[in-house]
Amino acid sequence: MNRKRTRAFTLIELLVVIAIIAVLVGILLPAISLVRAGARQAYCANNLRSVGQAVSRYTGQYETFPLSYVYGADRTSGEWRVEDQVGSNPDPRNGYVHWSHALYDGMQNGAGLPEGSFRCPSVLNGGAPRTNPGSNQRDWEPGQINDLGQGAGASPPHDRQASRMAITGNEAIFPRNKLNAQTPRQTRLVRPSDVDGSAFGSSKTILATEFYDNGYAWRSLATSTSGKIKSHRPLPPFLGDRSNTRVYEEPDRAEPSFFYPPADAILPKHRLGEHEIVNGRTRLNAVGRHHPSSTANFVFVDAHVQNMRLLDTVRDRLWGERFFSLTGNNKVDLKRNAF
C-alpha cells in the first residue's frame, strides 16, 4: 500500500525565510517612515496655507496685519488699549492677546479659522503651549511656569491664543506690541501695500513659518532655566548694526542699519537646543528643522507655501527688504553678509 509522503520545511529553510522577511522589513520601514514624514509635512503645509489665507482676509477687513500680541485690557476678552502697550505688562494677570486669536475668534462674517489650524503633527504635542496656558492642566508642558511664576493649572493669566502654536510670524510684518516703548525704536502697524510696494513684493516675502521643537517640553522657546515658554513671540529676521538682536535699541540713522544674519549664525539641527527664542546670534534659530532633509514650511504674504531650508531663505533674502514693523529708517542692507 503506497503512502503519500509530505515534505516539511527544515529548520534551515525556515530561518532563511525569516531572514528574507527581516531584510524586506528593514528595507520597507525607512521608506514607510519617509512617506509618513512627507504626509505630516504636507498636512502642516496645508495648515500654514490656511493661516496665510486667513491673514489675507484679515488685512482685507482691517487694512493692516495684526499685531503679533498685545497686553489685554482685561482677563477674558480680546480688547486692548494702545496706552498699555509699553515695555512691560501693566497688569500681568490680563495675559496676552495673540494674533492667532484675531484669526480664529476676531474675524467677521464667519471668516475665522478652526483653532487647530495652528498645529503641526511633526512637532511635540502639535505645537508649543501658550505662554500663560490657563486653568486646563493638559495645556501645560512639564516644568512650565507662567509669567507670574506659577505652575500647571494656575489662572489668571490665560492668554487668548491657540492652545497649541506650531506657527510663528515674521516680526518685520507682525509687529510686537511696543507701540509706546521708551526705546529708540517703536513698533508700527504694517499695511499690505508696504510689502506689495517693496522690491520683493508679497510673493517673495515670508509671512510666517514653524517653530523649532527640541523634543523636550518646548524648552527651545524658553527664555531661561525658569520654565517660561514664550510662544507668543514672533521672530525678528534681521540684526541691528549696533543692537544685534535687540532691534528696538537700534539708533535711527540715515543709512540702513539692519541686515541679514551671516551664514554661520544659522545653526545646523544637531547644534540646536534650548532657549533658541533668545539665541544671541539670530532669533531665526527658533525656526523648525523637523521635516525631511531638516526643512521647514514657510508661507509667504501672498499665501503660497514652500518647504525649504532656513539657510536658503536667508541666502535668497526672503524675509523682506525692510523691517516694516519698526519706526524710523527701517531699510535692510541687502549686500551685507551676502553668500
Mean pLDDT over the full length of the chain: 93
Please, are residues 91 and 97 in contact by the beta-carbon 8 Å criterion?
Answer: no
- Please check the confidence at residue 84 and state whether its pLDDT lies above 80: yes
> What is the reported pTM?
0.90
Query: What would the pLDDT profile of 291-322 be if each residue is shown by its tens digit?
Result: 999 999 999 999 999 999 999 999 999 999 99
- Please check the confidence at residue 266 and state whether its pLDDT lies above 90: yes
Helices (H), ranges, 132-248: 192-196
Residue type, 71: Y
Nearest partner of 165 among 109, 224, 247, 104, judged by Cα? 104
Strand partners, 307: 297
Q: How far apart are CA 326 and CA 68, in angstroms?
A: 13
Please, are residues 258 and 327 in contact by the beta-carbon 8 Å criterion?
Answer: no
Query: What would the pLDDT profile of 157-193 be if each residue is shown by its tens digit?
Result: 999 999 999 999 999 999 999 999 999 999 999 999 9
Q: How far apart are CA 193 and CA 301, in angstroms?
A: 11
The three-class DSSP label of residue 105 is coil
Grid cell for residue 174: 507682525
Grid cell for residue 148: 507670574
Instruction: For residues 223-240, give the mean pLDDT.
Output: 95
Domain ranges of the chain: 12-65+163-333
Can you give the pLDDT at residue 218?
A: 97
